[in-house]
Chains A and B, each alone.
Chain A
Amino acid sequence: MGRIIVVTSGKGGVGKSTTSASFALGLALRGYKTLLIDFDIGLRNLDLLLGHEKRIVYDIVNVMREEVALQDAVVKDLRCSRLALLPGSQFEDKEVLERRGIAKLLSEARKKYQYVVCDSPAGIEKGADMAMYFADDALLVATPERPSVRDADRMIGLLTNRTYRAEKGLEDIAPYLVINRYRHSLAKRGIALTPKQILDNLSIPLIGIIPDSESVTRAANIGEPVVYDHKSAAGNAYADTVARYLGDSVAYTLLHEGKRSIRSRLFGNKRVHLNDE
């Protein structure tokens, strides 16, 4: 049975979709059959982030309405056939998101895929609720700013109350923190929150620090998740995030803006290339 991972944040625009795309592709590149589902009904993005926008015939609404089977609606990734996308709908069909349909969709997805990554819309309304309700694990994406951290905190509260696991008294959803758009120089100067400050606030396990990087912008525009870009610090940070999620212990290469990582200064480790910073 596959695991369902929701990528959520509360706050909008902090990098949920970017993270979902790279995390799902990262899992697939590690050999796992992975399904990525876009729960952002009305404002889908993952089709573009994966470069699938011209290969879509059906979407999540067709599956929920049982007009087409899940396996006929998913779009296989051309870079890695172990990754498939179930596109969101670009049209607002709010009624289509209801628990029974999603339960059915996810239980089928669980049988066919080892990981099901659900990209959530912003906010704490119905769409976000539906994306997280059946999750086993959650990636909380937060940027090093207080509003983002407080919204993530709010979301963690909801995860432990308003979900299937909570309502059925099952083991809690496991929340993991991904800090996105990190700039070491800002944290050092006290302008941005430091990872420690964020962790003190949220006290959930940290599995990734993704630098703010122009390679993310480039990736969005060429329709290829940044994890695929081995020359990108952000791409490598996502690969490390996937590795930590899977239980590997990987040291943090906190990035030193523009130049070398702290790690490379301390240990002379040049594993991360910063050609894009």
Chain B
Amino acid sequence: MSPLPVDLKILDYRLPTVRIFSPDEDAVIDRLAMMIEQRPALFKGMDVAMNYAEDLPNEFDQQVIEEFLVAHGVNVVARTTGEGNVLAFTASAKSQKSVPDEVISKSLRSGQRIYSKGSVVILGSVSSGAEVLAEGSIHVYGELHGRALAGVQGDRNAAIFTQSMDAELVSVAGVYRTGDQLDEGSKGNACSVMLDGDSLSFQSITQ
């Protein structure tokens, strides 16, 4: 890991990426200010992705960093985490108010865990031993073999959608069911999981 609090790299999705390593927002902003001051023309109008190190604390204030960049003419167009395989396109760089959906372009492997402050769309599968936590809903376009916990801050309207249900655990707003208790009919099928009163309801999604 870089000893710097932040740096600028072109990662494999071909966008200059601001990578943030330090949990200290002030240190990050100081360093960014220095970088921008050194090469103001480079930064002006540049589209960048943000990449937040996986081990940053939850309280880390992403917004203050992004607002600083936007104020200096940088367009924050995407937000990524971890190794860069997690990609979220920010709704609009300059006027973002609500938390955008995260789009994850790959599969989540065993031992990987993501936390989304909004809803999350996973284009690949979620392996056994992987875990998706979202304050909003979870959409899995591949197969769901791992754990999916939607509405983790209590949003009872959150839901889980998958093309193939084989989860180890599903939960909406804290109401959970382990994989051995899933509805028989849902197994391997496209289905949604929603909160219905105090229990989870499974509904098949027919094309």
A interface residues, Cβ below 8 angstroms from B:
42-44, 53-57, 90-92
Contacts and interface: CB of A to CB of B under 8 A. Distances in A.
A54 B113 contact: no
B178 A57 contact: yes
Contacts of B184: none
B180 A57 contact: no
Contacts of B110: 90
Contacts of B179: 53-55
Interface in B123-145: 128-131
Nearest to A89: B111
A57 B169 contact: yes
Q: Among the interface residues A54, A55, A57, which one has the most CB atoms of the partner chain B within 10 A? A: A54
Contacts of A56: 168-169, 178
Contacts of B89: none
B202 interface: no
> Interface residues of A: mostly helix, strand, loop or mixed?
loop
Interface string B100-130: 0000000000110100000000000000111
B133 to A, nearest CB: 11
Nearest to A92: B111
A181 B168 CA distance: 32
Given A42-B111, A91-B113, A55 B129 contact: no
A55 B111 contact: no
Nearest to B168: A54
Contact of B111 (A53, A57, A90): A90
Contacts of B43: none
Contact of B180 (A42, A43, A55, A91): A55
11 contacts: A43-B111, A53-B128, A53-B179, A55-B178, A55-B179, A56-B169, A56-B178, A57-B176, A90-B111, A90-B130, A91-B131
Contacts of A43: 111
Nearest to B54: A92
A83 B146 CA distance: 25
A135 to B, nearest CB: 27
A92 B110 CA distance: 11
A53 B111 CA distance: 14
B146 to A, nearest CB: 9
Contacts of B113: 91
Interface string B32-57: 00000000000000000000000000
